Amino acid sequence: MASYDVVIIGGGGAGLTAAVYTSRANLKTLLLEKLTPGGQIALTDIVENYPGFPEGVTGTDISMRMEEQAKKYGTEVQYEEVQSISGSGGGFRIKTAKTTYDTKTIIIASGASFRMIGVPGEKELTGRGVSYCATCDGAFFKNKEIVVVGGGDSAMQEGIFLTRFVTKLKVIHRRDKLRASPILQDRAKENPKISFIWDTVVTRIEGDKKVEKIKVKNLKTNEEKDFKTDGVFVFIGHDPATKFLQGFVQLDEKGYVKANERLETSVQGVFVAGEVRAGAVKQLVSACGEGCEAALNAQAYLEQLELTEKK
C-alpha cells in the first residue's frame, strides 16, 4: 500500500497549484483526479482573465501546462475516483475503485459538476442533443439552431463560443436580466446570432433519438409553448463533488466543504481549496491562490506533526 505526505483530491486549478507547492517542498505528493487534468477549466474554450495571458489561453492548454509543471517537481498523478476517506489527523486512508492510499494529510480540491435542469427528457437525451460542455459538443451543431439555458458568465461565454457553429441561438433565462459580467453581456447582446427569452424556464425536453423540441413556461404569465430546437446546452451552475466526504468533514446545506480562514476543515490535517469550498469565488485565479495557501498550510501542519512525534 502506497503512503504519502500529501494526497490532493482533484486536478483542477486548485489541486494542480497545491501539487506544485507541496512537491517543491519535497513532500511526497499524490494527486487523484477522476476525469481529466484541469477540471472544469479544461472544458472552457478561452480563458481571458488569467494573469499573464493578455491574448487569452485555451482551457486545455493551461490545464496541460499546470499538470506538466506539477509532474516536473515530482507529483504522482493517478486518474481514479475517490470513494471514501477514513482516519484522523496524521493518518488517513483513501479508497478508490482501484486501490487504497495512506497519507498524513489531505487537500480536498474536488471541484463541482455541472448542474442539471431536472426536467423530463433531460437525462434520456443527454449526449443526444442535451449538453453541458460547449467545447466538447459545439462542433456537432454546425448550421443548427440551439438554445442555451442560463444567465451567468458560463452561459454567456459558452453561448458566444457556440455561435461559431450554429446559425441561431436562443438564451432562455428565468429572470428578466442576466447575471453575467457586463463585458460578457455586451458581447452576447451584440452578437447577431443570439436572442433572449426572458422570465422563462424549460419544463420538458422531447425527441425520439435526439432532441427535437422543448416545452417552456413563462414564469410571469404561466403561458406554456413548444418550439423546435436541435440542441439544449445547460449552464445553470454546479453541484459540489463531495459525495465521498459525507460523514467525514462538515459540509454546508448545499454540500460545500466548510473551512476556516486557514482553509482547514473540521478534521485536523484535512484542508480544502477551490470551488468545492463553501464561499469560494468560482474563478481560476482564486482557485489557484487557494491551492497555494492550502499547500503551505498543509506543509506547516506536517512540520508541526513531525515535531510532536519527536517529543
Active site residues: 133, 136-137
3-class secondary structure, 17? helix
Cell, residue 153: 458568465
Distance CA 162, CA 288 (A): 27
Distance CA 104, CA 296 (A): 15
Q: How large is the angle between the packed helices 284-310 and 13-24, nearest 10 degrees?
A: 40
Q: Residue 33 in contact with residue 63, Cβ under 8 Å?
A: no
Distance CA 119, CA 83 (A): 28
64 burial (CB, 10 Å; 0-12 / 13-18 / 19+) is middle
Q: Residue 15 in contact with residue 273, Cβ under 8 Å?
A: yes
